[in-house]
């Protein structure tokens, strides 16, 4: 249930429009600023900027004070956003003048929380295939998940996704994932994490699936290693060729690829040339000019740009994409459950005929990860619908 709130802000600014939209659902719904985020349109700024400010919330008879990160946008964007790009048309927008360290008050709607903020994966009318999803076998305490933990997690994914992507062979994850996925009919996108250990990790994959190669969708070598500078394109190409040779000798005839960011792939198309299809990670959240509702269009445009760099018309699969539910805002890309739903709905709409070309990131919050300012303190919170694994609950 949403209550009206009174906002008392202490800040130095020119005339502002203050707004706090309530979440709405659906493909075409407007972008929503997550709980605790306030938007103002400010005549003194020319681009999006975040400023920490002291805010007093007056909700009914309870007054609380907190420091909030306020998003300042140029006045030139106000009309576009009011038309539906950010502000819900069903909620009032209040205009006020806030002078230096004044205590003007503005009544704004509190965010609503309802089932509409949950993303529900579904197959399209033109395809029975579902998106894939990424998964890591680590507990919040950094220990390895048990077979029981993995079984619980995979059961929650059953019926929602076609493929589960994992990244390596540690924690005995290949045989555990094989046993759990076999019961559900989902296939596995397996990974060789360390290119310098191709033989060892390939052997673990071979042993883990025990000849049941129909369960394996793809085997990848490395993840974003060229982008991070940990490996050269030449080293990765050699590792992919080595892995393919080892796996073919063991009876696997499916795709072998390397995965890197779309920037690395665009700069080094030989990564795609060496792969059986072009596999790349692409996150609209890391583009500060992209709002949640434009995530699908951003992916379509990104794929189109990468295709211009490739020497052939090889298939492109997005092996990671999603939207965080918590963390710091990145310009117009704002974390939040409602924003995540809008982003994933947008992606689902954009790839309605080719869901097999998308692997969402990720099945659960990765609470074992460390927050980092460089990734907007969001690394732990990419789980779809904010899901937390049973063993971490």
- Which positions are annotated as active-site residues? 320
The closest alpha carbon to 361, from 53, 136, 101, 171, belongs to 136
- The SS3 call for residue 71 is strand
Q: What is the DSSP letter of 110?
A: P
Contact 333, 292 (CB under 8 A): yes
Cα torsion angle, 133, 139, 140, 143, sign: negative
Question: How far from the centroid of its chain's Cα atoms is residue 240's Cα?
Answer: 26
Q: Phi first, then psi: what are they for 134, rounded to 5°?
A: -90, 160
What the block records as the tokens of 219 is: 């085997």
- The SS3 call for residue 348 is helix
Phi-psi region of 205 (alpha: psi -120 to 50; beta: other; left: phi over 0): alpha
Q: Where are the alpha helices (DSSP H) in the chain?
A: 78-80, 147-157, 173-182, 198-209, 225-228, 233-249, 262-267, 270-273, 295-307, 337-350
Q: Phi first, then psi: what are they for 32, rounded to 5°?
A: -120, 130
- The SS3 call for residue 306 is helix
Residue 214 buriedness (CB in 10 A; 0-12 / 13-18 / 19+) = exposed
User: How many helices and strands (H and E) does the chain possess?
Assistant: 10, 15
Count how many Cα atoms sit within 13 Å of the Cα of residue 352 in the half-sphere of its side chain.
Answer: 9
Tell me how far apart the alpha carbons of residues 312 and 35 are, in angstroms, rounded to a whole number. Answer: 45
Question: How far from the centroid of its chain's Cα atoms is residue 336's Cα?
Answer: 11
């Amino acid at each position: 249930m949403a209550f009206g709130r009174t906002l008392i802000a202490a800040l130095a600014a020119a005339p502002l429009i203050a707004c706090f939209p309530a979440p709405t659902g659906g493909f075409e719904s407007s972008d929503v600023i997550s709980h605790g985020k306030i938007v103002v349109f400010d005549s003194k700024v020319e681009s999006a900027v975040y400023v920490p400010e002291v805010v007093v919330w007056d909700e009914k008879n309870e007054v609380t004070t907190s420091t909030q990160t306020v998003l300042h946008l140029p006045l030139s964007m106000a009309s576009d956003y009011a038309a539906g790009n950010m502000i819900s048309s069903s909620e009032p927008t209040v205009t006020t003048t806030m002078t230096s360290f004044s205590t003007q008050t503005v009544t704004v709607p509190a965010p609503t929380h309802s089932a509409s903020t949950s993303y529900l994966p579904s197959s399209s009318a033109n395809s029975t295939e579902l998106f894939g999803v990424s998964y890591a076998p680590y507990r919040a305490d950094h220990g390895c998940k048990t077979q029981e933990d993995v079984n619980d997690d995979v059961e929650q994914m059953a019926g929602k996704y076609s493929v589960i992507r994992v990244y390596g062979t540690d924690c005995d994850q290949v045989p555990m994932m094989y046993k759990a996925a076999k019961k559900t009919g989902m296939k596995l996108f397996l990974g060789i994490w360390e290119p310098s250990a191709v033989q060892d990790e390939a052997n673990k994959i071979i042993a883990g699936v025990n000849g049941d190669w129909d369960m394996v969708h793809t085997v990848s070598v490395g993840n974003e290693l060229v982008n991070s500078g940990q490996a050269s394109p030449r080293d990765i190409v050699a590792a992919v060729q080595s892995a393919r040779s080892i796996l073919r000798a063991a009876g696997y005839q499916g795709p072998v690829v390397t995965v890197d960011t779309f920037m690395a792939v665009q700069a080094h198309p030989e990564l795609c040339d060496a792969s059986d299809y072009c596999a790349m990670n692409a996150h609209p959240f890391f583009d500060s000019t992209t709002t949640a509702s434009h995530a699908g269009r951003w992916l379509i445009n990104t794929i189109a740009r990468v295709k211009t760099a490739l020497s052939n018309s090889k298939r492109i699969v997005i092996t990671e994409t999603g939207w965080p539910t918590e963390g710091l805002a990145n310009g117009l890309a704002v974390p939040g459950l409602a924003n995540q739903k809008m982003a994933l709905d947008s992606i689902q709409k954009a790839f309605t005929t080719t869901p097999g070309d998308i692997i969402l990131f990720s099945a659960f919050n990765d609470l074992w990860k460390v927050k980092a300012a460089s990734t907007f303190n969001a690394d732990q919170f990419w789980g779809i619908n904010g899901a937390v694994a049973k063993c971490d609950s």
